[in-house]
Structure 1
Amino acid sequence: MKKTIFALLVWIFPLLCCAQLPATGYTHTGYAQVSNDGKVAAASVNPDATRIAMEVVKRGGNAVDAAIAIAFALGVVDPQNSGIGGGCFVLVRLADGRILAIDGREMAPAAAQRDMFLQNGRANPELSRTGALAIGIPGSVMALHKLQREGGRLGFADVILPSAELAERGFAVSPVVAERSAATAPDIKKFPATAAIYLDKSGQPFSVNTRIKNPDLANTYRQLAKLGPDYFYRGDFANKTAEWMKKNGGLITRDDFSNYQAKLRQPVVSQFAGYTLYGFPPPSSGGTHVAQILNILENFDLHKATTSERYHLVAEAMKFAFADRAHWLGDADFTKVPALLTSKAYAKTIAQKINLNKVANNVVHGDPDVDIPHLMNKHTTHIATADLDGNWVAITSTVNTSFGSKVVIPGTGVVMNNQMDDFSAQVGVANAFGLVGSDANAVAAKKRPLSSMSPTLVFKDNQPVMTLGAAGGPTIISQVVQNLLYTLEFGMPAEEAIKQPRIHEQWNPNLLFVEAAMPDMVRKALAQKGHDINVWPSMGASQIIQLRDGKLVPVAEPRIAK
C-alpha cells in the first residue's frame, strides 16, 4: 500500500503543486492591472496576457473582450496550461444582469468506448495521457466566441489579432514554461510538430528568456479572426486534425468537430456568510463541491476555532466532499447528479460526522437523495476580469496536464489537450491527478469528462462583488474554498487572503497536503489529530477581483514566479 501511495505521489506532485519556489524574493508586476480610467480590471498568470487585455480595453473593449483576449494570449505564452486545443468553463455576469454558464469542456469522440483505455482488462494510463487517443474535441473556441457574441463590445477579430502578432513576434520563455517543457521533453520528442516549437534543434528544452516563435499558431489565429469558429470546427483546422488522427490511431473525425456545441448550463447557486455564490455545474465538480464544503463548514464556529482546528475542519469537509465527487459526479447529460449534494440539510448530516479532535477514517460517499429530516504545477489557468458597467467574468481554461497530449497538429501550432484522462478509465483507478471515479464518469461517446475547474462569482444584495477561480487540478476546489472563507467569512482583502497557507485533502489518497509556509506548530497539531501530512513548496494559482469602496481591485497569484 505504501508503495502504491508513493508511486501516486510521484505522479501527482508536479501536477497539483506549483513547481516553483514559494512567493519570496521576486516581484510580479503586471499580472493584475486596472485600466487608466479605473473602469476595467484584469488578472491572469502572465503579464503579457494581461497587457494585451489592457490594450484591448484602450480600443474600447469591456471586461468580456479583455477576458477573451487573455485566453488567446495565454495560448501563446502559457501553452503548457491552456489554449484553443483545450476547453474551458465560462461564468459571466453581463452588464444587462444576465448570468451565463458556458460549457466549453472537451468532448469524447463519437467512436469512444467504455473500455478504450484498457489493455488485458487493466487501465493503461499512457493511452489516456499521451497521443491521439488522449485528445477530446476542443471546446474553447466555441465557448469564447459565444461569450463574445453575448457580451463583448468589440469584434471577435479584435480580441484575437493581438495574440497572433505575439505568436509571430515570439515570447520570452518563463521559468514555468522552461521547467514544464524540460519535464515533458521525453514525450514532446515523440511528436515532431511539438518538438519543432518547444525544443531546440538538438531536442533540448529552451532555457529561461529564450524567445520562442509560433508562426503556425499566428496563422491559425488569423484564420479564426477572419472566418470565425467555422474555420476551427468545419474548416481547415478540423480537416488537418481529422487527417492526423486517421494516420496516428486516433478516433476524432471531421464530424466530431462539426457536431461540437458550447452548451449553456444552469449555474450552481448557494448562500454563504450573507453572500450569494454562483458556481459552475457538472461536468464541473467545482460549483457543486465548493458549495458543499462551505455548507458543511457553516455548521461550525470557525471564529472560535484555533488555527489548527480550522484547518482540520476544512480538511475533513474536503474529504467528505471528494468522496461524494468520486461516486456521484459526471456529465449531467449522461448521469443523474443528486441536486441535494448542495443542500444545507445534507451538509449538516456530514458535519455531524466530523470530530473536532480527530480525523474521520473509512469515509465513504453519502446518499444525498435519501429523506433528510428537517496535486503542483498549475495545469490549467484562470482568468478574472470585471468592469464598472457590470460585466464580471470568470474563465477557467485548460489542456489538462502540461502540454496536454503533447500533440501539436502539424501546420496549426496548437497544443492539443489530453482531457480524455479526466474520465474514469476503470472504476477505482486514479487519473493523472490521483482522482478516482465511478461509472458516472466513465468514458462514453460524446460525453464530457468531469472537471475540478471552479470559476466563481460572488454577489451581495444582488450586485457582483467578486470574481475568482484557480488552477491546479483538484486543488482548484480547495483554493477557491479557502479564498472564499478568508474573504467572506473573515473579511480579509483578497490580496491578503490569497497569501494564506493552503491545504488540500481529496479523499484519495487520504493525505493532507499543506504548503511549506504552514507554521510547524499547526502542522504538528494537525498530525496529532491523525492527519497524514505531506508538505509541498506551494500549491496552485488563484486570480481574484474584488469590488471595494466602489473600486475594482485585481489580485494575481503571488506564488507565480517570473
Structure 2
Amino acid sequence: MRVLAALILLAHPALFAADAAFSRHAIATVHPLATEAAQKAFEKGGNAVDAAIAAGLTLGVVDGHNSGIGGGCFFVIRAADGTVTCIDGREMAPSGAKRDMYVIDGKLDDEASKTGALASGVPGYLKACASAQKKHGKLKLADVLLPAAEIAEKGFAIDTVYARKLAATATKLAKFPSSAAIFLKNGKPLEKGQILVQSDLAKTYRAVAENGIEWFYGGEFARKTAEWMSANGGMMTAEDLAGYQAPEREAIRSQYRGYDLVTMPPPSSGGVHVAQILNILEHFPIRHLRESSRVHVITEAMKLAFADRAHWLGDPDFAPVPRGLVEPGYAAELAKKIDLDHATAVPSHNMPPHWEGDVFGKHTTFLCTADAEGNWVALNQTINTAFGSKVVIPGTGVLLNDEMDDFAVQPGIPNAFKLVGAEANAIAPGKRPLSSMSPTIVLKDGKPVIVTGAAGGPTIITQALLLLTHIIDDGMLPAEALAQPRFHHQWNPDELKIEKAFGQATLTSVRALGHKLAESESFGACQAIYFDRSKQLFFPANDPRVPGKADGR
C-alpha cells in the first residue's frame, strides 16, 4: 500500500469500511445527507435511477457550491434490461450569445464569463432528471424533491469544504444581494458548523414537485430569471428556458484489457479521452512498471489526449468531433510516440483517422448508484466554479451556473481551469460548452462491474482513468484504489500536477525523466462502485480526500 493510502488508514481507519459489501444496492456520494437521501429512495421502492436523482437533488441543497438545479449534468445509465441511456443535461448558451461577447473595446473581459449576468448558460439539470426518471425510474420526481426541500427549509450544518469554498467566494457573493442574504451573515461568510437555511430554494423544490418541471422552464422561475437578466445586463430569456432540451446521445464504447467501457459522448470530452488514454495504455504493461515509469507513461498518454481535446472537442451539434479519436488503431500510432526514458514535447494535436467525415452526432460533483436488478447510474452534475456565477435569482434560491466560461471565450485563451480550446468550442447561440465530466460504466462479459466518475475540472478525466487502472490492472477494490496518490497533465500548461504522497524518491525519478512537477497535497473527488460477480456483492467507495459517504443494503 502506497504512502497516501497508509497515512489515510492510520488517521481514518473507518474510511476503509467503504470496502463493506452489500447485496441489494450501493451508493457513493460526496455528502452523507445525499447518500441517506438515496437510501430513502430505495426504501420507498425506487431503483438506482431514483436513488441517483434523490442524491443529486439533495446535493443541490447541501453541496450547492458544486451543483444544483441552476446548472447541468450528464447521466450514463445501464438499465436492468441491458439498454444504455446517455442523457445530455449540459447547459446551453442563450440565444443572444455571440462569439466575441466577452471582448469589449478589443479587450477580453475574462471575469464576465465567470461572475454575474453574462456568465450563465441555460440550465438543463431538471430536464435531464425528469427524462431519466420517466424512462427508467419507479418513483415520481416529487418523491425525491420533497425530502430535499425539507433539508433546505430546516437547514443543515455546513462542513469544512463548504465553509472553505464560501470563505473564498464571499467577496463575489456579496455583490449580489439575493446571494448575500443566503450565504453571508452580517456581511461575513457562514463558518463550519453554522446552519445554512435556504427557504426560497425549498419553495422552488416544492413548486416543481407540485407543478412539474414546466414551472421551472415555462412558468414562474423562467419569468423571474428573465426579469432579473433584463434588469442586470444579462441575456437569458424566458424563451431560452422554454426551448431547452435534454437530448439522448449515443454512448461511447471502447475496450480495455477485456473490459467494455460505456461512457458519455461529446459535449463531454471526458468519455472520449478516458477511452483514448486507456487505448494508448493497453500497449504498455502498466501493472509491471515501476512507480516512476508508470507515472511517466500515463502522463505521456494524458498529454497526447489533452492536445487533441484542445483542438477537436466541442458540441457535436455544432462542431465535427472525429470518432477516430477513440479508435484502437489511432491509439496504437500515438503509443509509438511515447519514449519510455524521456518526456516528449507535444507541440500540437494529432490527426485521427477519418477526421473529415466520421464524427460524433467542471467545480463539479459525481455520484453513482447500483442495484441488484441490474440498474447502474453514473451521474455528473455541476454549476462549474465554486458557487457558479455567484447569482441567486431573487425569490427562488436558485444559484445559476457560470458554464459560459467552459467555452473557448477566445480561441487559445485559457479558462478558469487553464484549459484552452479552439474553434470547435467557440461560443454560439444554443451551443453547449465542452465539459470534462466523465461518467463511466464498465462491463465484463456484458454485465456491469464498475461505475465511476469524479469532480475537479479537467482532472476529472485523469482521476477516472487512474481509478480504472488501479482496479483493472492492479486488482484493487475501490477504497484502496481511491486512496492511491494521483497525478494529472493536461498538455497546456506543460506541467505535471502530482500529489506529494508519492514520496520524494518517486518525485525525483519522475522529474529526472524530464517532467516539470507542480506538487500538490491532494486534489479531486472520485467515487466508485465495484461488483464482485463471484460473491454477488457491491463494494462502494467515496474519495477519502473529501467528506462523503458510501453505503448500501
Please say whether Structure 1 and Structure 2 have the same fold, judged by a TM-score greater than 0.5.
Answer: yes
**1:334 match:** 318
**1:401 match:** 385
Q: Structure 1 residue 121: deviation in Å?
A: 2.5
Residue 557 (structure 1) aligned to one of 536, 540, 543: 543
Q: Structure 1 residue 31: deviation in Å?
A: 11
Q: Structure 1 residue 125: deviation in Å?
A: 1.1
Residue 129 (structure 1) aligned to one of 105, 110, 114: 114
Segments of 5+ residues of structure 2 without an aligned counterpart are 1-6, 356-361, 549-553
Aligned partners of 1:125, 1:439: CA distance in 2, in Å? 18
Which residue type is aligned with residue 271 of structure 2? G
> Does the 8 Å CA contact 1:33/1:42 hold for their aligned counterparts?
no
Residues 411-449 of structure 1, C-alpha deviations (whole Å, 9 max, x = no match): 111111000000001111000000000000000000000
> Does the 8 Å CA contact 1:66/1:385 hold for their aligned counterparts?
yes
**1:10 match:** none
> Does the 8 Å CA contact 1:515/1:538 hold for their aligned counterparts?
yes
Which residue type is aligned with residue 469 of structure 1? G
Which residue type is aligned with residue 236 of structure 1? E
Aligned partners of 2:265, 2:546: CA distance in 1, in Å? 28
SS in 2 for 1:319: helix
**Superposition pairs for residues 253-332 of structure 1, below 5 Å?**
253-332=237-316
SS in 2 for 1:241: helix
Residues 253-272 of structure 1, C-alpha deviations (whole Å, 9 max, x = no match): 00000000001000110000
**2:416 match:** 432
Which residue type is aligned with residue 72 of structure 2? G
Q: Structure 1 residue 123: deviation in Å?
A: 2.2
**1:16 match:** none
Residue 494 (structure 1) aligned to one of 478, 483, 488: 478
**2:449 match:** 465
Q: Structure 1 residue 390: deviation in Å?
A: 0.6
Q: Structure 1 residue 503: deviation in Å?
A: 0.3
Aligned partners of 2:370, 2:522: CA distance in 1, in Å? 27
Aligned partners of 1:227, 1:28: CA distance in 2, in Å? 43
Which residue type is aligned with residue 551 of structure 1? L
Change (3 A) 1:24 1:364: farther
Residues 224-246 of structure 1, C-alpha deviations (whole Å, 9 max, x = no match): 11111101100111111011000
Residue 421 (structure 1) aligned to one of 402, 405, 409: 405
Aligned partners of 2:12, 2:401: CA distance in 1, in Å? 31
Change (3 A) 1:29 1:162: farther
**2:232 match:** 248
SS in 2 for 1:560: coil
> Does the 8 Å CA contact 2:16/2:480 hold for their aligned counterparts?
no
Q: Structure 1 residue 370: deviation in Å?
A: 5.7
Q: Structure 1 residue 49: deviation in Å?
A: 0.8
**1:113 match:** 98
Which residue type is aligned with residue 153 of structure 1? K
RMSD: 1.9
Structure 1, 445-454 or 513-522: larger mean CA deviation: 513-522
**1:77 match:** 62
Q: Structure 1 residue 29: deviation in Å?
A: 7.0
Change (3 A) 1:420 1:120: same
**2:439 match:** 455
Which residue type is aligned with residue 210 of structure 1? Q
Which residue type is aligned with residue 539 of structure 2? V
Q: Structure 1 residue 59: deviation in Å?
A: 1.4
Aligned partners of 1:33, 1:478: CA distance in 2, in Å? 23
**Superposition pairs for residues 78-97 of structure 1, below 5 Å?**
78-97=63-82
Q: Structure 1 residue 300: deviation in Å?
A: 1.3
**2:367 match:** 383
Aligned partners of 1:137, 1:243: CA distance in 2, in Å? 15
Q: Structure 1 residue 122: deviation in Å?
A: 3.2
**2:518 match:** 534
Which residue type is aligned with residue 50 of structure 1? T
Aligned partners of 1:538, 1:22: CA distance in 2, in Å? 12
Q: Structure 1 residue 93: deviation in Å?
A: 0.6
Change (3 A) 1:466 1:341: same
**2:137 match:** 152
Change (3 A) 1:34 1:151: farther
Aligned partners of 1:133, 1:22: CA distance in 2, in Å? 42
Aligned partners of 1:367, 1:286: CA distance in 2, in Å? 19
Aligned partners of 2:14, 2:526: CA distance in 1, in Å? 14
> Does the 8 Å CA contact 1:31/1:43 hold for their aligned counterparts?
no
Aligned partners of 1:169, 1:38: CA distance in 2, in Å? 33
The TM-score with structure 2 as length reference comes to 0.94
Change (3 A) 1:99 1:156: same
Aligned partners of 1:518, 1:238: CA distance in 2, in Å? 49
**1:350 match:** 334
Aligned partners of 1:471, 1:92: CA distance in 2, in Å? 18
> Does the 8 Å CA contact 1:136/1:419 hold for their aligned counterparts?
yes
Change (3 A) 1:131 1:22: farther
Residue 174 (structure 2) aligned to one of 189, 202, 205: 189
**1:102 match:** 87
Structure 1, 278-287 or 121-130: larger mean CA deviation: 121-130
> Does the 8 Å CA contact 1:511/1:534 hold for their aligned counterparts?
yes
SS in 2 for 1:91: strand
SS in 2 for 1:132: coil
Which residue type is aligned with residue 51 of structure 1? E
> Does the 8 Å CA contact 1:454/1:476 hold for their aligned counterparts?
yes
SS in 1 for 2:384: coil
The TM-score with structure 1 as length reference comes to 0.93
Residue 511 (structure 1) aligned to one of 495, 498, 510: 495
> Does the 8 Å CA contact 1:22/1:538 hold for their aligned counterparts?
no
Q: Structure 1 residue 274: deviation in Å?
A: 0.5
SS in 1 for 2:472: helix
SS in 2 for 1:108: coil
> Does the 8 Å CA contact 1:30/1:51 hold for their aligned counterparts?
no
**Superposition pairs for residues 229-248 of structure 1, below 5 Å?**
229-248=213-232
> Does the 8 Å CA contact 1:22/1:537 hold for their aligned counterparts?
no
**1:365 match:** 349
**1:11 match:** none
Change (3 A) 1:211 1:24: farther
Residue 544 (structure 1) aligned to one of 525, 528, 548: 528
Aligned partners of 1:229, 1:27: CA distance in 2, in Å? 43
**1:17 match:** none
Segments of 5+ residues of structure 1 without an aligned counterpart are 1-20, 372-377
Aligned partners of 1:561, 1:233: CA distance in 2, in Å? 33
SS in 2 for 1:408: coil
